Amino acid sequence: MQNTKKGTHPIQVKTFENPQEGAAYLAKRIADLINEKRDEGEKCVLGMATGSTPEPLYKELIRLHKEQGLSFVNVITYNLDEYFPITSDSNQSYHYYMHRQLFDHVDIKRENVHVPNGDLPKEEVEAYCRSYEEQIEKAGGIDLQILGIGHNGHIGFNEPGSDENTRTRLIDLDERTREANARNFGDINEVPTQAITMGIHTILKAKEIYLMAWGDAKAPAVKNSVKGKATKDVPASLLQFHQNCTFVLDKGAAKELN
């Protein structure tokens, strides 16, 4: 049964044979939105995610750019999160990831790209996080937010315990998250213990939200988010407070839903 608590809405679920088909579906929705906005003379503000999950989506967007002329000239992006501390030119940074996976291959204007800065003195982080939120507001808010999901149900780096009122902030990473991301750093001791992340409140302000998940290992987190009650113990379940949130899944990630 869907959660019927006041203010919650059923999360829409779209299940595909494999990640490539799911990614193609979402890339088409994003391309349509970019083109609609362009036709209206408007910017399209996208909230971007990192991790292995969005890689097929970014590949497909690059293909649409190269083969079908999809232009990113009217696109503004805000990334969800970044490790702290980390320099933006470090191979493990989400700055580096975004340029390598997408920005370097499309015609987005560099000044329209925003990834939280993980290379600040700690005492400047709080004011920086406030200014990140203000920038998003000034850009007109996020039109479409892309998300992945952690095994513990985290979105961005909103670890369990992050409630629906959280804004962009510095957060301590769970050990499980650091272990999962150690593959990119070689050694768990090299994984930063903190990150800057948009909050759940920030994410819920987006006009449209798509969460992607691939593979059996994500099935329990997906089930708890879609079928469980909205709770800060499973941050992705708080997406039930949004009226237009869709999970784009492959068969593996959807397998506990039926």
Q: Which residue numbers are catalytic?
A: 81, 152, 154, 159
Q: Which stretch binds ligand GLP (CB under 6 A): 2-10, 147-155, 164-172, 219-227?
A: 147-155
Per-residue CA distances from 163 to 12, 107, 222 (Å): 21, 36, 18
Compare residues 49 and 64 and give the one whose CB is closer to ligand GLP. Answer: 49
Contact 75/108 with Cβ under 8 angstroms? yes
In DSSP terms, 147 is beta-bridged to 211
Q: Which stretch binds ligand GLP (CB under 6 A): 33-41, 132-140, 149-157, 198-206?
A: 149-157
81 binds ligand GLP (CB under 6 A): yes
53 binds ligand GLP (CB under 6 A): yes
In the sheet that 81-84 helps form, which strands lie side by side, from edge to edge?
81-84, 194-197, 169-172
In DSSP terms, 212 is beta-bridged to 248
- CB of residue 6 to ligand GLP, shortest distance in Å: 28
Establish whether the linkage from the previous residue to 85 is cis, with ω within 30° of 0.
Answer: yes
Candidates 19, 47, 85, 156; binder of ligand GLP (CB under 6 A) is: 156
Element (H, E) at 172: strand 169-172
Candidates 181, 202, 225, 240; binder of ligand GLP (CB under 6 A) is: 181
Write out the binding residues for ligand GLP, residues 158-177 only, by CB under 6 A: 177
Residue 202: name the closest of 238, 155, 166 by CA. 166
Write out the binding residues for ligand GLP, residues 182-241 only, by CB under 6 A: none
148 binds ligand GLP (CB under 6 A): yes
- CB of residue 36 to ligand GLP, shortest distance in Å: 26
Backbone torsions φ then ψ of 84, nearest 5 degrees:
-140, 130
Beta strands in 151-252 (DSSP E): 169-172, 194-197, 208-213, 245-250
Q: Which residues lie near ligand GLP (CB under 6 A)? A: 49-53, 80-81, 148-150, 156-157, 177, 181
